[in-house]
Amino acid sequence: MEATVLDSWVLAEFSTPDALVTATRQMREKGFEGMDTYSPYPLHGGSEALGLPPSRVPFIALCGGLTGVATALAMQTWMNTIDYPLNIGGRPLLSLPAWVPITFELGVLFAAFGIFFGLLGLSRLPQPYHPVFESEEFRTASTHGYWLSVPQATGTDAAPVMDQLKALGATQVTLVTGEKE
């Protein structure tokens, strides 16, 4: 079968984190979208340079926590007042103060699960393969390299983008293509 090019990425390495953030900001201002940065640690100002929206993780955590609280209260109400009511020490069957520990713990548990799975979904993980991972030079991204990938539409010339990245201070610029059999 013949290989067909799906997409390509211009991959540029920068010598410092500040150079990467500055170049990312300038490329976004020129109208490039879908870029991504790679570095051994989170970069200050990197999210703003990419133009990423505010994180949705706090909202996910709130929804998970409220779901856990509602589940705990519903579960305890069902078990203690309807399914198997026990009158212990003259306490009322619907005793909310006695249910605080379980309600709190289930709220925390559901919030933690919401954050974990929500973050996986928002990050599009697991992503075991991306064509830029195949570039031999890109291996420095996990140790000391600062990389920017700019997606290219199929059939477009990458030379102008490569020249712009070199002008912004990239020490190394390569073109990576994704192929499908």
SS3 158: coil
CB 65 within 8 A of CB 107: yes
How far is it, in rounded angstroms, from Cα 29 to Cα 32? 7
In the chain, % of residues over pLDDT 70: 95
How far is it, in rounded angstroms, from Cα 177 to Cα 6? 8
CB 163 within 8 A of CB 45: no
Half-sphere exposure of 177 (CA within 13 A, CB side): 12
Per-residue pLDDT reduced to its tens digit, 37-51: 999 999 999 999 999
Class at the top of the CATH hierarchy for domain 4-51+145-180: alpha beta
Task: Provide the whole-model pTM.
Answer: 0.73
Per-residue pLDDT reduced to its tens digit, 113-144: 999 999 999 988 887 888 888 888 888 888 88
Average pLDDT of the chain to the nearest whole number: 89
pLDDT at 147: 94
Domain spans of the chain, in order of start: 4-51+145-180, 57-122
pLDDT at 5: 43
Per-residue pLDDT reduced to its tens digit, 52-69: 999 999 999 999 999 999
SS3 69: helix
